[in-house]
């Protein structure tokens, strides 16, 4: 009815679509043309009904009795996730992690080229790391404009992370991936996603501890990650 209305896809499903996409890429690389929801479910480690339901949010792109076509579904997932184009990335914070991410192959290969890296430390500005020269965070606004950058990645210290976020917002960025262990505040029009590597280990620690306490007879719950951004 309502024209142009995008299907509202549940957050939990959105978080799984990239996983399916990754698996489809692998299937394509091994010349698989078709697959069933059962097969994809096994590869993704989830329930087959969930796979079918997730894919059904995209539309009705399978064939009953046959399955889904790898290339066609790949296309549909990429369209839904906005991956028909590249999104340029700027890294804020040229420390260990920032420089590693600037070089990180997994960003470029999935359509997120790191175009620029900036810092506020005069000692770091001007250094070169893998074909990128560290810029001044003060120039963020012009860099973002000139290089058509959409996404900012924060790899500063905790202390500097909110200032980095403010600078990104000020520069017109609307999507932020934050690695600092801080709950950032930003306008609600900006998507913020935080990955705290320490938290990941702490969650593992919880299960490790539990194993010790219970004598490892307890089951380990499946990993579930929900999409969403603040």
Partner DNA sequence: AGGGCTTAGTGCATTAATTCACAAAGTCAA
Partner DNA sequence: TTGACTTTGTGAATTAATGCACTAAGCCCT
Q: What is the smallest separation between the CB atom of 129 and its own copies, expressed in angstroms? A: 10
Give the residue, chosen from 1, 29, 66, 159, that forms a contact with DNA under the rule CB under 7 A: 66
List Cβ neighbours of 117 (8 Å cut-off, separation of 6 or more): 90, 91, 92, 94, 98, 99, 102, 129, 132, 134, 135
Question: What is the 8-class DSSP label of residue 194?
Answer: E
Q: Does 195 bind its own copies (CB under 8 A)?
A: yes
User: 39: closest CA among 23, 28, 55?
Assistant: 23
Partner from DNA, its own copies, none contacting 1, C-beta within 5 to 8 A by type: none
How long, in residues, is the chain? Answer: 230
Q: Does 36 bind its own copies (CB under 8 A)?
A: no
Site for DNA in 190-229 (CB under 7 A): 224, 226
Q: Does 68 bind DNA (CB under 7 A)?
A: yes
Q: H or E stretch including 34? A: strand 34-35
Which CB atom, from 138 or from 204, has the smaller least distance to its own copies?
Answer: 204
Q: How far is it between the farthest Cα atoms of the chain?
A: 63
Q: Does 112 bind DNA (CB under 7 A)?
A: no
Site for DNA in 16-35 (CB under 7 A): 35
Q: Does 100 bind its own copies (CB under 8 A)?
A: yes
Strands 114-119 and 68-69: unpaired
CB 144 within 8 A of CB 118: no
- The backbone torsions φ and ψ at residue 28, rounded to the nearest 5 degrees and listed phi first, read -60, -40
Stretch of 11-19, 122-130, 133-141, 142-150 lying at the interface with DNA (CB under 7 A): 11-19
Report d(CA 17, CA 83) in Å as an integer: 12
Q: Does 151 bind its own copies (CB under 8 A)?
A: yes
Beta strands in 87-189 (DSSP E): 88-92, 114-119, 128-129, 132-136, 149-154, 175-178
Q: What is the smallest separation between the CB atom of 200 and DNA, expressed in angstroms? A: 17
Give the residue, chosen from 23, 43, 61, 69, that forms a contact with DNA under the rule CB under 7 A: 61
How many residues bind DNA (CB under 7 A)? The answer is 28
Q: Does 201 bind its own copies (CB under 8 A)?
A: yes
Q: Look up residue 24 and give its two tokens.
A: 């489809």
Q: Does 208 bind its own copies (CB under 8 A)?
A: yes
Partner from DNA, its own copies, none contacting 49, C-beta within 5 to 8 A by type: DNA
Q: What is the smallest separation between the CB atom of 219 and DNA, expressed in angstroms? A: 11
Which residues of this protein are in contact with DNA, per CB under 7 A? 10-13, 35-38, 46-50, 52-53, 55-56, 60-68, 224, 226
């Amino acid at each position: 009815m309502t024209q142009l209305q995008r299907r509202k896809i549940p957050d939990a499903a959105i978080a799984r679509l990239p996983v399916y996409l990754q698996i489809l890429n692998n299937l394509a690389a091994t010349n698989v043309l078709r697959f069933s929801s059962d097969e994809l479910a096994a590869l993704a480690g989830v329930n087959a009904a969930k796979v079918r339901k997730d894919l059904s949010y995209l539309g009705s792109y399978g064939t009953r009795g046959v399955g889904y076509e790898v290339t066609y579904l790949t296309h549909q997932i990429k369209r839904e996730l906005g991956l028909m184009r590249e999104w340029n990335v700027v890294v804020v914070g040229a420390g260990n992690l920032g420089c590693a991410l600037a070089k990180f192959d997994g960003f470029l290969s999935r359509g997120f080229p790191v175009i620029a890296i900036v810092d506020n430390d005069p000692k770091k500005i001007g250094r070169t790391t893998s074909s990128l020269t560290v810029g001044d965070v003060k120039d963020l606004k012009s860099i973002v404009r000139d290089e058509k950058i959409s996404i900012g990645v924060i790899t500063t210290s905790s202390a500097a992370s909110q200032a980095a976020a403010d600078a990104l917002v000020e520069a017109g960025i609307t999507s932020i991936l934050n690695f600092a262990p801080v709950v950032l505040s930003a306008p609600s029009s900006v998507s913020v996603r935080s990955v705290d590597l320490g938290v990941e280990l702490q969650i593992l620690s919880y299960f490790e501890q539990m194993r010790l306490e219970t004598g490892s007879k307890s089951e380990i719950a499946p990993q579930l990650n929900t999409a969403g951004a603040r």
